[in-house]
Structure 1
Protein backbone atom coordinates (compact mmCIF):
# COMPACT_ATOMS: atom_id res chain seq x y z
CA UNK A 1 0.00 0.00 0.00
CA UNK A 2 1.34 3.42 -0.99
CA UNK A 3 1.50 5.86 1.92
CA UNK A 4 2.88 9.32 2.56
CA UNK A 5 6.02 9.69 4.64
CA UNK A 6 6.45 12.56 7.07
CA UNK A 7 9.72 13.92 8.45
CA UNK A 8 10.55 15.85 11.60
CA UNK A 9 11.62 19.47 11.50
CA UNK A 10 15.44 19.63 11.57
CA UNK A 11 16.85 20.67 14.93
CA UNK A 12 20.03 22.56 15.68
CA UNK A 13 21.50 26.05 15.70
CA UNK A 14 21.93 26.29 11.95
CA UNK A 15 23.72 29.16 10.25
CA UNK A 16 22.84 32.83 9.99
CA UNK A 17 22.41 33.87 6.37
CA UNK A 18 24.90 36.43 5.12
CA UNK A 19 22.44 37.69 2.50
CA UNK A 20 18.69 38.05 3.08
CA UNK A 21 16.46 35.35 1.59
CA UNK A 22 15.00 36.16 -1.79
CA UNK A 23 11.67 35.15 -3.27
CA UNK A 24 11.50 33.15 -6.49
CA UNK A 25 11.59 35.37 -9.55
CA UNK A 26 10.42 34.64 -13.08
CA UNK A 27 11.76 37.89 -14.54
CA UNK A 28 14.42 37.95 -17.24
CA UNK A 29 17.92 36.94 -16.18
CA UNK A 30 19.24 40.51 -16.21
CA UNK A 31 16.47 41.84 -13.97
CA UNK A 32 17.80 43.16 -10.61
CA UNK A 33 15.58 40.69 -8.72
CA UNK A 34 17.12 37.79 -10.62
CA UNK A 35 20.64 39.11 -10.06
CA UNK A 36 20.07 39.46 -6.31
CA UNK A 37 18.45 36.02 -6.17
CA UNK A 38 21.46 34.38 -7.85
CA UNK A 39 23.86 36.18 -5.52
CA UNK A 40 21.89 35.02 -2.47
CA UNK A 41 21.71 31.41 -3.69
CA UNK A 42 25.41 31.19 -4.51
CA UNK A 43 26.43 32.75 -1.21
CA UNK A 44 24.13 30.45 0.77
CA UNK A 45 25.34 27.36 -1.09
CA UNK A 46 28.92 28.29 -0.17
CA UNK A 47 27.89 28.93 3.44
CA UNK A 48 26.25 25.50 3.70
CA UNK A 49 28.87 23.51 1.77
CA UNK A 50 30.80 22.31 4.86
CA UNK A 51 27.55 21.30 6.58
CA UNK A 52 25.90 19.36 3.74
CA UNK A 53 24.85 15.81 4.59
CA UNK A 54 27.28 13.43 2.88
CA UNK A 55 24.89 10.53 2.35
CA UNK A 56 21.38 9.41 3.16
CA UNK A 57 18.08 11.33 3.29
CA UNK A 58 18.41 14.93 4.42
CA UNK A 59 16.22 17.87 5.32
CA UNK A 60 16.46 21.61 4.77
CA UNK A 61 15.13 24.31 7.09
CA UNK A 62 14.90 27.99 6.15
CA UNK A 63 13.72 30.49 8.77
CA UNK A 64 12.94 33.85 7.20
CA UNK A 65 13.30 36.91 9.43
CA UNK A 66 11.05 39.84 8.50
CA UNK A 67 10.92 43.41 9.88
CA UNK A 68 8.80 43.95 12.97
CA UNK A 69 6.28 46.11 11.12
CA UNK A 70 5.68 43.51 8.41
CA UNK A 71 2.37 41.63 8.47
CA UNK A 72 3.32 37.95 8.71
CA UNK A 73 0.04 36.70 7.23
CA UNK A 74 0.07 38.80 4.08
CA UNK A 75 2.21 37.90 1.05
CA UNK A 76 5.85 36.71 1.48
CA UNK A 77 4.66 33.23 0.46
CA UNK A 78 6.87 30.58 2.02
CA UNK A 79 6.92 28.22 -0.96
CA UNK A 80 8.40 31.09 -2.99
CA UNK A 81 11.19 31.45 -0.42
CA UNK A 82 11.82 27.71 -0.17
CA UNK A 83 11.72 26.81 -3.86
CA UNK A 84 14.83 28.67 -5.11
CA UNK A 85 17.07 27.46 -2.28
CA UNK A 86 15.79 23.88 -2.42
CA UNK A 87 16.32 23.88 -6.20
CA UNK A 88 19.88 25.16 -5.80
CA UNK A 89 20.81 22.59 -3.13
CA UNK A 90 18.69 19.66 -4.27
CA UNK A 91 20.07 16.15 -4.53
CA UNK A 92 18.16 12.89 -4.90
CA UNK A 93 18.31 12.51 -1.10
CA UNK A 94 16.51 15.78 -0.26
CA UNK A 95 13.26 14.45 1.24
CA UNK A 96 12.01 17.25 3.50
CA UNK A 97 11.95 21.05 3.25
CA UNK A 98 10.76 23.31 6.04
CA UNK A 99 10.27 27.06 5.83
CA UNK A 100 8.91 29.53 8.36
CA UNK A 101 8.67 33.29 8.77
CA UNK A 102 8.79 35.41 11.89
CA UNK A 103 9.73 38.86 13.07
CA UNK A 104 13.51 38.78 13.42
CA UNK A 105 16.60 40.75 12.43
CA UNK A 106 18.26 37.72 10.88
CA UNK A 107 17.37 34.66 8.85
CA UNK A 108 18.69 31.16 9.49
CA UNK A 109 19.32 28.03 7.46
CA UNK A 110 19.99 24.45 8.53
CA UNK A 111 20.65 21.13 6.80
CA UNK A 112 20.51 17.86 8.74
CA UNK A 113 19.81 14.15 8.32
CA UNK A 114 16.09 13.51 7.84
CA UNK A 115 14.17 11.55 10.47
CA UNK A 116 10.82 9.90 9.79
CA UNK A 117 8.10 10.89 12.24
CA UNK A 118 4.42 10.16 12.80
CA UNK A 119 2.16 12.09 10.47
CA UNK A 120 -0.10 14.91 11.64
CA UNK A 121 -3.66 14.10 12.60
CA UNK A 122 -6.53 15.02 10.32
CA UNK A 123 -4.91 14.67 6.90
CA UNK A 124 -6.56 14.86 3.49
CA UNK A 125 -5.22 12.55 0.79
CA UNK A 126 -5.77 12.28 -2.95
CA UNK A 127 -4.09 10.40 -5.78
CA UNK A 128 -3.74 12.65 -8.80
CA UNK A 129 -3.53 11.42 -12.38
CA UNK A 130 -3.33 14.70 -14.30
CA UNK A 131 -0.22 16.65 -15.25
CA UNK A 132 0.80 19.08 -12.51
CA UNK A 133 0.92 21.85 -15.14
CA UNK A 134 -2.83 21.56 -15.78
CA UNK A 135 -5.96 22.88 -14.14
CA UNK A 136 -7.11 19.26 -13.86
CA UNK A 137 -4.32 18.57 -11.35
CA UNK A 138 -5.43 21.47 -9.17
CA UNK A 139 -9.03 20.32 -9.40
CA UNK A 140 -8.03 16.85 -8.22
CA UNK A 141 -6.10 18.28 -5.26
CA UNK A 142 -8.96 20.62 -4.38
CA UNK A 143 -11.37 17.67 -4.37
CA UNK A 144 -9.56 16.32 -1.30
CA UNK A 145 -10.28 19.44 0.78
CA UNK A 146 -13.41 20.90 -0.80
CA UNK A 147 -15.61 19.67 2.06
CA UNK A 148 -13.22 20.72 4.82
CA UNK A 149 -13.90 23.60 7.18
CA UNK A 150 -12.02 26.78 6.36
CA UNK A 151 -9.21 27.63 8.79
CA UNK A 152 -10.13 30.74 10.84
CA UNK A 153 -8.44 34.02 9.90
CA UNK A 154 -4.81 34.30 10.96
CA UNK A 155 -1.61 32.31 10.68
CA UNK A 156 -1.64 28.77 9.28
CA UNK A 157 0.72 25.83 9.57
CA UNK A 158 0.74 23.55 6.54
CA UNK A 159 2.43 20.27 5.76
CA UNK A 160 2.17 18.43 2.45
CA UNK A 161 3.62 14.96 1.87
CA UNK A 162 4.04 13.73 -1.70
CA UNK A 163 4.57 10.20 -2.94
CA UNK A 164 5.93 10.25 -6.49
CA UNK A 165 7.53 8.09 -9.14
CA UNK A 166 11.33 8.10 -9.53
CA UNK A 167 11.37 10.49 -12.51
CA UNK A 168 9.37 13.24 -10.82
CA UNK A 169 10.85 16.55 -9.68
CA UNK A 170 8.71 16.92 -6.58
CA UNK A 171 9.67 20.56 -6.03
CA UNK A 172 7.57 21.57 -9.05
CA UNK A 173 4.48 20.14 -7.34
CA UNK A 174 4.55 22.63 -4.48
CA UNK A 175 2.99 25.67 -6.12
CA UNK A 176 0.10 24.00 -8.01
CA UNK A 177 -0.75 21.97 -4.91
CA UNK A 178 -0.89 25.00 -2.61
CA UNK A 179 -2.81 26.96 -5.26
CA UNK A 180 -5.60 24.38 -4.91
CA UNK A 181 -6.04 24.82 -1.15
CA UNK A 182 -8.40 27.80 -1.21
CA UNK A 183 -11.15 25.81 0.61
CA UNK A 184 -8.80 25.75 3.62
CA UNK A 185 -7.02 29.09 3.21
CA UNK A 186 -9.68 31.28 1.62
CA UNK A 187 -9.35 33.17 -1.65
CA UNK A 188 -7.69 36.50 -2.32
CA UNK A 189 -10.79 37.31 -4.40
CA UNK A 190 -14.00 35.31 -4.56
CA UNK A 191 -14.08 35.41 -8.36
CA UNK A 192 -10.51 34.08 -8.81
CA UNK A 193 -9.70 30.39 -8.84
CA UNK A 194 -6.25 29.15 -7.77
CA UNK A 195 -5.34 32.29 -5.83
CA UNK A 196 -5.54 31.23 -2.16
CA UNK A 197 -4.52 33.39 0.76
CA UNK A 198 -1.27 31.45 1.06
CA UNK A 199 0.54 34.40 2.61
CA UNK A 200 -1.22 33.19 5.78
CA UNK A 201 1.11 30.20 5.94
CA UNK A 202 3.77 31.01 8.53
CA UNK A 203 5.10 27.47 8.88
CA UNK A 204 5.46 25.09 5.94
CA UNK A 205 6.72 21.51 5.79
CA UNK A 206 7.05 19.63 2.50
CA UNK A 207 8.02 15.97 2.26
CA UNK A 208 8.52 13.29 -0.38
CA UNK A 209 8.81 9.54 -0.74
CA UNK A 210 9.49 7.73 -4.00
CA UNK A 211 7.43 4.73 -5.11
CA UNK A 212 8.03 3.37 -8.60
CA UNK A 213 4.56 1.80 -8.72
CA UNK A 214 3.00 5.28 -9.00
CA UNK A 215 4.29 5.91 -12.50
CA UNK A 216 3.22 9.46 -13.35
CA UNK A 217 0.57 9.62 -10.62
CA UNK A 218 1.14 11.62 -7.44
CA UNK A 219 -0.20 10.83 -3.98
CA UNK A 220 -0.76 14.07 -2.05
CA UNK A 221 -1.44 14.18 1.71
CA UNK A 222 -2.32 17.54 3.27
CA UNK A 223 -2.39 18.67 6.91
CA UNK A 224 -3.32 22.25 7.80
CA UNK A 225 -4.33 24.03 10.98
CA UNK A 226 -4.32 27.42 12.67
CA UNK A 227 -0.90 28.42 13.99
CA UNK A 228 0.54 30.86 16.48
CA UNK A 229 1.93 33.82 14.51
CA UNK A 230 5.70 34.05 14.47
CA UNK A 231 6.35 30.98 16.61
CA UNK A 232 7.94 27.67 15.72
CA UNK A 233 5.13 25.22 15.13
CA UNK A 234 4.68 21.58 16.00
CA UNK A 235 6.14 18.84 13.86
Structure 2
Protein backbone atom coordinates (compact mmCIF):
# COMPACT_ATOMS: atom_id res chain seq x y z
CA UNK A 1 0.00 0.00 0.00
CA UNK A 2 2.98 2.34 0.38
CA UNK A 3 2.97 3.00 -3.36
CA UNK A 4 -0.25 4.99 -2.90
CA UNK A 5 0.89 6.93 0.10
CA UNK A 6 1.71 10.66 0.10
CA UNK A 7 4.20 9.99 -2.73
CA UNK A 8 1.39 10.02 -5.30
CA UNK A 9 0.04 13.46 -4.74
CA UNK A 10 3.37 15.12 -3.90
CA UNK A 11 4.60 14.30 -7.39
CA UNK A 12 4.31 17.19 -9.85
CA UNK A 13 1.28 16.91 -12.09
CA UNK A 14 3.18 16.72 -15.35
CA UNK A 15 5.02 13.64 -14.03
CA UNK A 16 1.70 11.98 -13.21
CA UNK A 17 0.91 11.92 -16.92
CA UNK A 18 3.69 9.42 -17.50
CA UNK A 19 2.55 7.32 -14.54
CA UNK A 20 -1.10 7.02 -15.52
CA UNK A 21 -0.94 6.98 -19.32
CA UNK A 22 -4.27 5.82 -20.70
CA UNK A 23 -5.73 5.66 -17.19
CA UNK A 24 -6.19 9.45 -17.12
CA UNK A 25 -9.92 10.11 -17.22
CA UNK A 26 -11.59 13.49 -17.82
CA UNK A 27 -15.31 13.49 -17.06
CA UNK A 28 -18.11 16.04 -17.28
CA UNK A 29 -19.88 17.12 -14.11
CA UNK A 30 -22.80 14.79 -13.34
CA UNK A 31 -21.62 11.94 -15.59
CA UNK A 32 -20.55 8.46 -14.54
CA UNK A 33 -17.13 6.85 -14.95
CA UNK A 34 -15.95 3.27 -14.58
CA UNK A 35 -12.48 2.43 -13.29
CA UNK A 36 -11.66 -0.94 -14.77
CA UNK A 37 -9.84 -3.51 -12.68
CA UNK A 38 -8.36 -5.04 -15.82
CA UNK A 39 -9.76 -8.43 -14.84
CA UNK A 40 -12.35 -10.48 -16.69
CA UNK A 41 -13.24 -12.47 -13.60
CA UNK A 42 -12.24 -12.50 -9.94
CA UNK A 43 -10.77 -15.77 -8.66
CA UNK A 44 -12.07 -17.59 -5.57
CA UNK A 45 -9.27 -16.25 -3.35
CA UNK A 46 -9.20 -12.71 -4.74
CA UNK A 47 -9.60 -9.54 -2.74
CA UNK A 48 -9.75 -6.14 -4.42
CA UNK A 49 -9.62 -2.78 -2.68
CA UNK A 50 -10.29 0.67 -4.12
CA UNK A 51 -8.54 3.64 -2.50
CA UNK A 52 -8.79 7.42 -2.91
CA UNK A 53 -5.75 9.71 -2.71
CA UNK A 54 -6.92 11.91 0.18
CA UNK A 55 -5.78 10.15 3.33
CA UNK A 56 -5.17 6.94 1.34
CA UNK A 57 -8.85 6.23 2.10
CA UNK A 58 -10.54 2.88 1.39
CA UNK A 59 -13.79 3.50 -0.48
CA UNK A 60 -14.81 0.00 -1.66
CA UNK A 61 -13.74 -3.62 -1.31
CA UNK A 62 -14.60 -7.08 -2.61
CA UNK A 63 -13.48 -10.23 -0.76
CA UNK A 64 -14.39 -13.27 -2.85
CA UNK A 65 -13.32 -15.77 -0.16
CA UNK A 66 -15.59 -14.14 2.42
CA UNK A 67 -18.29 -13.57 -0.22
CA UNK A 68 -18.48 -9.92 0.82
CA UNK A 69 -18.76 -6.68 -1.14
CA UNK A 70 -18.46 -3.41 0.81
CA UNK A 71 -18.86 0.25 -0.13
CA UNK A 72 -17.66 2.78 2.47
CA UNK A 73 -20.32 5.46 2.02
CA UNK A 74 -19.47 7.56 5.06
CA UNK A 75 -15.76 8.21 4.53
CA UNK A 76 -14.54 11.73 3.70
CA UNK A 77 -17.75 13.35 4.95
CA UNK A 78 -19.91 11.15 2.72
CA UNK A 79 -18.68 12.49 -0.62
CA UNK A 80 -19.10 9.02 -2.19
CA UNK A 81 -22.45 8.22 -0.57
CA UNK A 82 -24.86 6.49 -3.03
CA UNK A 83 -22.38 7.01 -5.87
CA UNK A 84 -20.28 3.82 -5.86
CA UNK A 85 -21.13 0.60 -7.68
CA UNK A 86 -18.94 -2.52 -7.73
CA UNK A 87 -18.98 -5.14 -10.46
CA UNK A 88 -18.96 -8.41 -8.52
CA UNK A 89 -17.55 -10.33 -11.48
CA UNK A 90 -14.61 -8.09 -12.42
CA UNK A 91 -14.17 -5.86 -9.37
CA UNK A 92 -14.41 -2.70 -11.51
CA UNK A 93 -15.67 0.43 -9.76
CA UNK A 94 -18.25 2.86 -11.16
CA UNK A 95 -18.71 6.36 -9.74
CA UNK A 96 -22.07 7.93 -10.63
CA UNK A 97 -23.28 11.56 -10.62
CA UNK A 98 -19.70 12.72 -10.31
CA UNK A 99 -18.67 16.09 -8.83
CA UNK A 100 -15.42 17.99 -8.45
CA UNK A 101 -15.09 16.49 -4.96
CA UNK A 102 -14.20 13.23 -6.70
CA UNK A 103 -11.19 14.67 -8.51
CA UNK A 104 -7.92 12.95 -7.76
CA UNK A 105 -6.01 9.69 -7.84
CA UNK A 106 -7.58 6.27 -7.34
CA UNK A 107 -5.87 2.94 -6.86
CA UNK A 108 -7.40 -0.47 -7.51
CA UNK A 109 -5.42 -3.12 -5.62
CA UNK A 110 -5.94 -6.80 -6.30
CA UNK A 111 -4.17 -8.28 -3.27
CA UNK A 112 -1.03 -10.25 -4.21
CA UNK A 113 -1.69 -9.73 -7.93
CA UNK A 114 -1.69 -6.18 -9.32
CA UNK A 115 -2.32 -2.49 -8.67
CA UNK A 116 -3.82 -0.04 -11.16
CA UNK A 117 -3.70 3.76 -10.62
CA UNK A 118 -6.21 6.14 -12.19
CA UNK A 119 -6.11 9.92 -12.50
CA UNK A 120 -9.65 11.35 -12.56
CA UNK A 121 -10.60 14.97 -13.25
CA UNK A 122 -14.10 16.44 -13.51
CA UNK A 123 -13.86 19.48 -15.76
CA UNK A 124 -15.71 22.75 -16.23
CA UNK A 125 -16.20 23.97 -19.81
CA UNK A 126 -15.04 27.47 -20.80
CA UNK A 127 -15.58 29.06 -24.22
CA UNK A 128 -13.75 32.21 -25.35
CA UNK A 129 -13.38 34.22 -28.55
CA UNK A 130 -10.07 34.25 -30.39
CA UNK A 131 -7.95 37.24 -29.33
CA UNK A 132 -9.77 37.75 -26.03
CA UNK A 133 -8.50 37.02 -22.54
CA UNK A 134 -9.85 34.34 -20.24
CA UNK A 135 -9.34 33.87 -16.51
CA UNK A 136 -9.46 30.36 -15.12
CA UNK A 137 -10.40 30.71 -11.47
CA UNK A 138 -8.67 28.63 -8.85
CA UNK A 139 -11.64 28.92 -6.50
CA UNK A 140 -9.32 30.14 -3.73
CA UNK A 141 -9.69 33.46 -1.96
CA UNK A 142 -6.10 33.31 -0.74
CA UNK A 143 -3.15 30.94 -1.07
CA UNK A 144 -1.95 29.71 2.31
CA UNK A 145 1.70 30.06 3.36
CA UNK A 146 2.35 26.31 3.06
CA UNK A 147 0.61 25.78 -0.29
CA UNK A 148 1.97 25.35 -3.81
CA UNK A 149 -0.13 26.01 -6.93
CA UNK A 150 0.64 24.28 -10.24
CA UNK A 151 -1.09 24.77 -13.59
CA UNK A 152 -0.61 22.22 -16.36
CA UNK A 153 -1.74 22.14 -19.99
CA UNK A 154 -2.84 18.54 -20.47
CA UNK A 155 -3.13 18.53 -24.27
CA UNK A 156 0.66 18.52 -24.43
CA UNK A 157 1.30 17.38 -20.85
CA UNK A 158 3.24 20.53 -19.94
CA UNK A 159 3.64 22.42 -16.69
CA UNK A 160 3.03 26.11 -17.46
CA UNK A 161 3.02 27.95 -14.10
CA UNK A 162 3.92 27.41 -10.43
CA UNK A 163 3.33 29.49 -7.31
CA UNK A 164 5.26 28.40 -4.21
CA UNK A 165 3.99 30.54 -1.35
CA UNK A 166 6.53 29.32 1.18
CA UNK A 167 9.45 30.14 -1.14
CA UNK A 168 7.71 33.38 -2.17
CA UNK A 169 8.20 32.45 -5.84
CA UNK A 170 5.96 32.68 -8.88
CA UNK A 171 7.14 31.07 -12.14
CA UNK A 172 5.69 31.19 -15.65
CA UNK A 173 7.23 28.75 -18.13
CA UNK A 174 7.06 30.90 -21.25
CA UNK A 175 9.25 28.69 -23.42
CA UNK A 176 7.37 25.38 -23.17
CA UNK A 177 5.67 24.07 -26.31
CA UNK A 178 7.79 26.26 -28.62
CA UNK A 179 6.69 29.41 -26.83
CA UNK A 180 2.97 28.86 -27.33
CA UNK A 181 2.18 30.67 -24.08
CA UNK A 182 4.93 33.31 -24.26
CA UNK A 183 3.79 36.69 -22.91
CA UNK A 184 0.25 35.36 -22.56
CA UNK A 185 0.11 34.00 -19.00
CA UNK A 186 -0.68 36.06 -15.92
CA UNK A 187 -0.97 34.69 -12.39
CA UNK A 188 -2.90 36.20 -9.51
CA UNK A 189 -0.41 35.89 -6.64
CA UNK A 190 -3.20 36.05 -4.06
CA UNK A 191 -5.64 33.47 -5.46
CA UNK A 192 -3.53 31.49 -7.95
CA UNK A 193 -6.05 32.10 -10.74
CA UNK A 194 -4.59 31.94 -14.26
CA UNK A 195 -5.30 34.42 -17.07
CA UNK A 196 -4.48 33.67 -20.71
CA UNK A 197 -4.35 36.81 -22.87
CA UNK A 198 -4.68 37.14 -26.66
CA UNK A 199 -5.87 33.56 -26.80
CA UNK A 200 -5.71 31.49 -30.02
CA UNK A 201 -7.00 28.04 -31.08
CA UNK A 202 -3.52 26.73 -30.15
CA UNK A 203 -4.53 27.19 -26.52
CA UNK A 204 -7.63 25.03 -26.81
CA UNK A 205 -7.53 22.01 -24.50
CA UNK A 206 -7.70 20.88 -20.91
CA UNK A 207 -6.00 22.67 -18.05
CA UNK A 208 -5.48 21.17 -14.61
CA UNK A 209 -4.85 23.02 -11.35
CA UNK A 210 -3.04 21.07 -8.62
CA UNK A 211 -2.96 22.50 -5.10
CA UNK A 212 -0.30 20.95 -2.86
CA UNK A 213 -0.36 21.48 0.90
CA UNK A 214 -2.17 20.24 3.98
CA UNK A 215 -5.33 19.80 1.89
CA UNK A 216 -4.39 18.52 -1.57
CA UNK A 217 -6.92 19.11 -4.33
CA UNK A 218 -7.17 19.49 -8.07
CA UNK A 219 -9.48 21.08 -10.60
CA UNK A 220 -9.80 20.65 -14.37
CA UNK A 221 -11.06 22.97 -17.10
CA UNK A 222 -11.76 22.47 -20.80
CA UNK A 223 -11.10 25.65 -22.80
CA UNK A 224 -12.38 26.07 -26.36
CA UNK A 225 -11.53 29.03 -28.60
CA UNK A 226 -13.90 30.14 -31.37
CA UNK A 227 -13.34 32.64 -34.16
CA UNK A 228 -15.42 35.72 -35.08
CA UNK A 229 -16.58 34.10 -38.32
CA UNK A 230 -18.31 31.42 -36.25
CA UNK A 231 -20.08 34.16 -34.27
CA UNK A 232 -21.12 35.87 -37.53
CA UNK A 233 -22.54 32.66 -39.00
CA UNK A 234 -24.42 31.93 -35.79
CA UNK A 235 -25.79 35.47 -35.75
CA UNK A 236 -27.07 35.13 -39.34
CA UNK A 237 -28.58 31.75 -38.53
CA UNK A 238 -30.47 33.17 -35.54
CA UNK A 239 -31.78 36.08 -37.62
CA UNK A 240 -33.15 33.99 -40.48
CA UNK A 241 -34.14 30.80 -38.70
- Whether TM exceeds 0.5 here: the answer is no
Higher relative strand content:
2
Q: RCO higher in 1 or 2 (8 Å CA, sep ≥ 6)?
A: 1
Say which one has the larger Rg. 2
Higher relative helix content:
1
